[in-house]
Amino acid sequence: MATLSSAGIGSGLNVESIVTGLMNVERQPLTQLQTQQSSYQSKISALGTLKSALSSLQSAASALTPATLQSPTAAFASFNATVADSTIASATTTSSAVAGTYSVNVTKLGSSQTLALNATFQSGDQALDFGSDDTRTLTIQQGSNAAVTITLDKSQNTLSALRDAINNAGAGVSASTVTDSNGVQHLQLTADQAGTANAITLGGTVAFKGAAASVSNSDFTETQATDAIVQIQGITVKANGNTVSDAIDGVTLTLAKEGSTSLTLTRDTSALKSKLTAFVNAYNSLNSSIKSLGAYDATSKTGAVLNGDSSLRSVQSQVRAALTGTPSSLSSNAYKTLSSLGISFQSDGSLQLDSTKFDKAASTNFSAVASAISAYGSALKTTTTNLLGTTGVIASRTNGLNASVTSIGKQITALNNRLTIIEQTYRAQFTALDTTMTSMNTTSTYLTQQLAKL
């Protein structure tokens, strides 16, 4: 006799497997949204890498741009100063120096003023008179420097205590004491800087024991300061102390002893060349980042994260235009292009600095070289600043992508909420179906048994 059967349904229904399969289908739009969001986030990260490389180029370009009101020559000029006999003098330079060799003949060194206290005291004896006051003052002025006031209390009444107070005050004066074999102490003050312009002036309310009035220069025997005398290129110059700062343009001479020697000034382009090297390296780093972020693999037919991205192309084209276009300020300059300075493009799009060519150009016409470097540095600084600005291409593209990520995030949240409801619905429906099938299976079994009895 025929039997009623329905394999795979009824109480044997696999609700979990069926719901899981259906939900996998339902989740496909969610997977697509998540993939798209991840792609946008990768682009944002890549734009951050591009921004970092562009910022480095901006810094390197800024180093090639003179300060406001500063000429390119003054900004980049540097000189080495060599004194043939370094025991006679030493020299430092500024950008206003002029290359050449100068004869230097130091005929007299400058000396510092000294003050020797007329009164002497036994070591440890009271040397200062405070009267009925607990404190008194000592004022010291060296040359035209600001006067320094030292406040002394009654515990500082010996020459040794006065010496220490003066040396700790930073007044441009050194104090010393000498104690002879009889225990008699002598005080001497010496100006820290040589020259008549650095004479010592004393004042204040404190007085030495036995003095009729408060302290002054009259309490001391003075040895007058003298200025140095030096002949430069046969011209006699009187120096302020032992420093000559206005005889040779851009040069400060510090005299050490009497004698004749020579000073040679040579142009030093090493600092400028280092800045150019940093600029070339910064551009090459940017160029490498652009190539990597926009690459396309023909074998796998896959593109890098920013392949075909308009912002990447915009950065590349604008930076390249600033490097290859001739700034208007160079229309009459001896050097108009970067290649004329030894900076040229290679086959892979990178830059290379030819030191030999640069050195030749700098030695031929440094002023023209400085002007060209300044013009291109300014052009690149402007370009990179615009690209990196809040309304620049990178910020605009990043803001757009962030907005898309936020929008997709909201869609994902909404879809997840919808999927939760759909799964609950599926589970309720199939649970009900399973219950119904179980009931039908029970009924089928009962009918089969009753039919068998007929």
Confidence of residue 451 (pLDDT cuts 50, 70, 90): confident
Q: What is the largest CA-CA distance in the chain?
A: 153
Domain count, the chain: 3
Domain match, 204 and 340 both: no
Domain match, 370 and 386 both: yes
Give the separation between CA 112 and CA 14, rounded to whole angstroms: 107
Domain match, 425 and 370 both: yes
The β-bridge relationship of strands 235-238 and 229-232 is antiparallel
Domain match, 347 and 357 both: yes
Domain match, 94 and 240 both: yes
In sequence order, the 6+-apart residues with CB closer than 8 A to the CB of 213 are 207
Q: What is the dihedral of CA 28, 29, 35, 37, to 10 degrees?
A: -160
Q: What is the mean pLDDT of the chain?
A: 89
Does the pLDDT of residue 213 top 80, yes or no? yes
Name the residue range of residue 232's domain: 79-110+228-267
Beta partners for 92?
252
Domain match, 274 and 414 both: yes
Q: 179 is written with which tokens?
A: 């104690």
Contact 341, 358 (CB under 8 A): yes
In this prediction, residues 76-96 reach a mean pLDDT of 94
User: Residue 438's pLDDT is what?
Assistant: 73
Confidence of residue 1 (pLDDT cuts 50, 70, 90): very low
Residue recorded with tokens 């800024």 = 62
Confidence of residue 6 (pLDDT cuts 50, 70, 90): very low
Domain match, 289 and 415 both: yes
Q: 139 is written with which tokens?
A: 């004022």
Q: What CATH number has the domain bearing residue 179?
A: 2.60.40
In this prediction, residues 166-185 reach a mean pLDDT of 92
Beta partners for 176?
188
Give the separation between CA 385 and CA 392, rounded to whole angstroms: 8
Beta partners for 122?
184
Q: Which CA distances in Å does 350 have to 217, 282, 288, 339?
A: 72, 10, 8, 13
Q: 185 is written with which tokens?
A: 């102490």
